[in-house]
Amino acid sequence: MRDVWSLYSEKVMEHFKNPRNVGEIENPDGIGHVGNPVCGDIMELYIKVNDSTIVDAKFKTFGCGAAIATSSMVTEMVKGKSIDEALEISNRAVAEALDGLPPIKMHCSVLAEEALKSAIEDYLAKSK
Partner 1 sequence: MKRIYLDYSATTPTHPEVVKAMLPYFTDVFGNPSSIHSYGQEAKGAIEEARVKVADLIGARGEEIIFTSGGTEADNFALKGVAFANESKGNHIITGSIEHHAVIETCKFLERRGFLVTCLPVDEYGLIDPGDVKKAITDKTILISVMQANNEMGTIEPIAEIGRIARDAGIYFHTDAVQVVGHIPVDVNELEVDLLSMSAHKLYGPKGVGALYIRKGTKLIPFMHGGDQERRRRASTENIPGIVGLGKAVELARQEMGEEAERLTYLRDQLIKGLLERIDHTCLNGHPLKRLPNNVNVSVDFVEGESMLLNLDLEGICASTGSACSSSSLEPSHVLLALGLSPEQAHGSLRFSLGKWTGEEEIERVLEILPRIVAKLRAMSPLLKSH
Name the residue with the smallest CB distance to ligand FES: 63
Separation CA 128–CA 120 (nearest Å): 12
CA distances from 68 to 13, 29, 62, 84, 90 (A): 10, 22, 8, 25, 17
Q: What angle do CA 22, 23, 24 make, to 5 degrees?
A: 140
In angstroms, the CA 12 to CA 18 distance is 10
**Active-site residue flag, 39:** yes
Which residues 63-122 are close enough to bind partner 1 by CB under 8 A?
63-65, 67-68, 104, 107
Q: Which stretch binds ligand FES (CB under 6 A): 14-22, 24-32, 63-71, 115-123?
A: 63-71
The answer to whether 114 contacts ligand FES (rule: CB under 6 A) is: no
DSSP character at residue 39? T
Q: CB nearer to partner 1: give 19 or 30.
A: 19
- What binding mask, one character per residue, do residues 23-62 give for ligand FES by CB under 6 A, x or -? -------------x--x-x---------------------
